[in-house]
Amino acid sequence: MADFNQILDAGDVDGGIINVVVEIPAGSNHKIEWDRKLGAMKLDRVEPIIFAKPTNYGFIPQTLDEDGDELDALIVTDQPLSTGIFLEARIIGVMKFVDDGEVDDKVIVVPADDRNNGNAIKTLADLPTQLIKQIEFHFNHYKDLKKAGTTQVTHWGDIEEAKKVIRESQQRWQQ
């Protein structure tokens, strides 16, 4: 498999269109992660089905979040996307998130060229309120059935805050 971090960069952060690699399809309870050292996708674990991902889940190449992993992205689409593909995505916001005491933010994106939806989703305010609630519930509770671990969505940020998070993650990658 190709090493996404060598081939792809984060994209046009200032222009709001970034590259995102899909790790987990929406609706899956398989925790699939990019293994940077091996250059391959790896099944890390199988979560309880009740905690299947409410959106597609991936990462932004050539970024590192404060937890030491590539910066995560939640990709909102009508249908699940396949593991291992990449897409150009429009930034619509960020979910500020803490996982076991570490910052583990999630940039929220939609496909940059989503003609079926008329490219109607431009900001978090354009998402259905129920979807925002489902995402927040998922990330606040997906460790509840485990013996250890705490998670907390601290707040939702706009496009500019998301771009700031991405830029900071790009700087960590370069260092």
Q: What is the pLDDT of residue 92?
A: 97
Q: Look at residue 116 in the predicted model and tell me its pLDDT.
A: 65
Q: How far apart are CA 20 and CA 36, in angstroms?
A: 15
104 is in an annotated binding site: yes
Residue 143 is assigned to a ligand binding site: no
Q: Confidence band (pLDDT; 50, 70, 90) for 115?
A: low
Q: Give me the domain span that covers residue 105.
A: 4-174
pLDDT-derived band at 7 (thresholds 50, 70, 90) equals confident
What is the amino acid identity at position 25? P
**Nearest partner of 72 among 150, 139, 147, judged by Cα:** 139
- What's the whole-number mean pLDDT along residues 155-172? 98
Written as six digits, the tokens of 127 are 């998402």
Which residues does 141 contact at the CB level (< 8 Å), separation at least 6? Answer: 51, 151
**Mean pLDDT across the stretch 80-101?**
96
Over residues 65-93, the mean pLDDT reads 96
Tell me which range, 45-49, 106-110, 146-150, is most confidently predicted by mean pLDDT. Answer: 106-110
Rounded to an integer, the average pLDDT of 7-34 is: 96
129 contacts: CB under 8 Å, gap ≥ 6: none
Q: Is 31 a known ligand-binding residue?
A: yes
Number of domains in the chain: 1
pLDDT at position 118? 55
Q: Tell me the three state secondary structure of residue 153.
A: strand
Q: Residue 57, annotated ligand binder? A: yes
pLDDT of residue 145: 81
In contact, 92 and 109? CB cutoff 8 Å:
yes
* Confidence band of 112 (pLDDT split at 50, 70, 90): very high
Residue 142 in marked binding region: yes
Cα distances from 72 to residues 117, 120, 145, in angstroms, run 24, 23, 23
Looking at residue 83, which CATH number applies to its domain? 3.90.80.10
CB 95 within 8 A of CB 139: yes
Q: How far apart are CA 55 and CA 111, in angstroms?
A: 13
Does 158 belong to an annotated binding site? no
Q: Is the confidence at residue 55, as pLDDT, over 80?
A: yes
Beta strands in 7-76 (DSSP E): 11-12, 17-24, 30-35, 40-46, 56-60, 71-75
